[in-house]
Amino acid sequence: RGRPMARAAHDAAARQSAESFGAQYGRDCNEMLWQGRPVGVCERMSRKSMMKILRNGMIASSKDRLGTDRRLLGEGRQKADALGRPGRTPQGGVAFVGSSTFTFWRRLQEDFPGLPVYNAAFGGSQSHHLLDDDLFERLIVRHRPAQVVYFCGTNDVAQGYPVEHVRDSLAAFHRRVRERLGQSVRLIVLAITATPFFLDWGEPMAKADKANELVAAFCASARDERLVFLDHNSQWTKDPNFFVGDNHHMTDAGHSQLAAFLRPHLMGSAAPALSKL
């Protein structure tokens, strides 16, 4: 009788320890993403371990889509509330919308000096979340941007949505931009990034490649010179040195690389006139 009781006590202690670690990792991982470098328990973990946790989290989210949608739309509304504060967001600027690659771009303004950029992204978002009526109005339309930079689809392919979902959601987003903001607004669509995490996982990377092909084809066939598809994937996007410990979210250096790629497109002759800072 004593042995089963001891085993039960051991199992309970192990579960409690795992739950405690999970909570601590969640806090430290979030801080890592905001700081662009490992902090807390993340400093002591291997990249392989952090990639495994991220992969398991994405798989778990894919099994509870209603709950995931509810949670992420809530985060989007919090972002919209923050952007709605007086003096927080420029009118007629450049809106960065989409998922965590943009959400955690903490040096966005420093990386685009002279441009009235604002961050309307919320982490974990999937392409259909950007079609929510309330979020579209409050994250984008309210601020009347001259340019919109769109990065979404990573979480769609990682969580089991078909690649056509990424293209079709982008098509609906493009249509809504034209309906609500007019023909002059420039919409720049950024390819899903081939991160070291995706390359290691394999299956999502294959889907991301296909989704990028479909989105590029849509943009090319849309007969809209203000709709631009840009593929930033190159050698640096495969280099772990430009990513934090999970090999998926960028460091400041990674964001600087992305900014260097985007800046000419935002400031070139094809870009519309922007409100001054």
Q: Are residues 9 and 79 in the same domain?
A: no
Write the pLDDT tens digit of every residue in 69-123: 999 999 999 999 999 998 888 999 999 999 999 999 999 999 999 999 999 999 8
Q: Are residues 75 and 6 in the same domain?
A: no
Domain range enclosing 85: 46-267
Q: Are residues 129 and 196 in the same domain?
A: yes
The tokens of 178 are what? 């034209």
Q: Are residues 20 and 120 in the same domain?
A: no
pTM: 0.88
Q: Are residues 11 and 129 in the same domain?
A: no
Write the pLDDT tens digit of every residue in 126-143: 999 999 999 999 999 999
Q: Are residues 2 and 119 in the same domain?
A: no
Write the pLDDT tens digit of every residue in 191-205: 999 999 999 998 899
> How far is residue 232's CA from residue 234's CA, in Å, rounded to a whole number?
6
Looking up residue 196, the CATH number of its domain turns out to be: 3.40.50.1110
In a domain, 277, yes or no: no
Q: Are residues 86 and 168 in the same domain?
A: yes
Q: Are residues 94 and 112 in the same domain?
A: yes
Q: Are residues 14 and 113 in the same domain?
A: no
Q: Are residues 181 and 98 in the same domain?
A: yes
Write the pLDDT tens digit of every residue in 11-42: 445 455 555 667 888 888 888 888 888 888 88
In a domain, 272, yes or no: no
Q: Are residues 138 and 82 in the same domain?
A: yes
Residue 274 has pLDDT above 60, yes or no: no
